[in-house]
Amino acid sequence: MKLFERAKELLRILKAVLSAIFIKDRPLEFVTALVRDYRIQKSSCRLSLYVTSVCSLDCEECIMQFLMKADPKYQMSLEELERFIQASEYSNYSFDFLLTGGEPLIWKNLREGLKRLRRSRICNSIQILSNAMNIDRLDDEIMGYLDGLRVSEYSTNKDNIQILLKKWPDKIWFVNREEFWMNPKTPVPGTLPAKCLNPEMLLYKDQVFACPHSRSIALSAQSELRLGNPVAPHFMKGLFWLKFAQQAEICTRCISNQRVREKTKKTRNIVRPERAA
Ligand code: SF4
């Protein structure tokens, strides 16, 4: 019986692969990424948009802090977003987007950026990862563009979470981040091959990185590895091999590597709004 079920599942995957290639005309690099990430039925890859470095908090263990500090005023322009949309449309890619930063609700192009993503041919879904400190920037139009708002819960934003839950109960979910794993200062031995909990790509400054944390970790590790491809037609080609090559230098320092988490302590992820201001 088990064998029969597995054969049925394999057939289902094969049908989805053939349909992606011959009916939907998806390029090979996109289809192989879908198969590798168990997303062939969704027909959509995951990608984070690093929309701003500005943040209303200053969490001690934020893994993006090195990139935020290196480029503290960064705001993704609409022109950059358009270049990415055009290259992706040309390549016939499609994505489940997560807006990250920094704090995405501080992105100066939030409304227009979401509108453009939604009306493009590359958007399967959009979520935002937020600290819920700037909820005055949200309204029904913006929430209408979103499939969900993922909130990191701290002692500083409990009231705001209640307001969000009252207004848009179906679109809000939250995870407590008051405590978090400490960012390793040096590579943690015995943590390869990485068991990655965040396999999505990241767009930042006209580059698509193979993973969401590599650019920030590379800055802290002073690594000069190549980590991504420039935004251009078929930018996903070769990203898998870049990610493979970054393992020893980058993934051994990453708290999204499950094996690093198992060897690292959690600590109070102190947030200081006054320090961020
Ligand atoms: S650095 Fe490695 S473990 Fe961390 S998110 Fe990237 S691929 Fe995953």
Banded pLDDT at 51 (limits 50, 70, 90):
very high
Name the E strands within 102-251. Answer: 123-130, 148-153, 172-176, 179-181, 201-204, 207-209, 228-230
What lines the ligand 1 site, CB under 6 Å? 194, 196, 198, 211-214, 217, 243, 250-251, 254, 256-257
Q: How remote is the CA of residue 4 from the centroid of ligand 1, in Å?
A: 36
**Quick one: fold of 44-276?**
TIM Barrel (3.20.20)
Domain ranges of the chain: 1-42, 44-276
Give the model's pLDDT for residue 238.
98
Residue 179 confidence (pLDDT): 87
- Any idea how long the chain is? 277
Ligand 1 atom with least separation from CA of 247? 2
Nearest Cα residue to 151 out of 257, 56, 81: 56
Distance 209 CA to ligand 1 centre (A): 11
Dihedral angle of Cα 104, 108, 112, 115, to the nearest 10 degrees: 0
Question: Mean pLDDT throughout 175-187?
Answer: 90
Which residue is associated with the tokens 């055009």? 86
Q: Which protein residue has the closest C-alpha to ligand 1 atom 2?
A: 251
Higher pLDDT, 80 or 156: 80
Distance 249 CA to ligand 1 centre (A): 11
CA of 198 to the centre of ligand 1 (A): 6
Residue whose CB lies within 8 A of the most ligand 1 atoms, among 256, 262, 263, for a mutation test: 256
Using CB atoms within 10 Å of the CB of residue 151, give its burial: 0 to 12 exposed, 13 to 18 middle, 19+ buried: buried
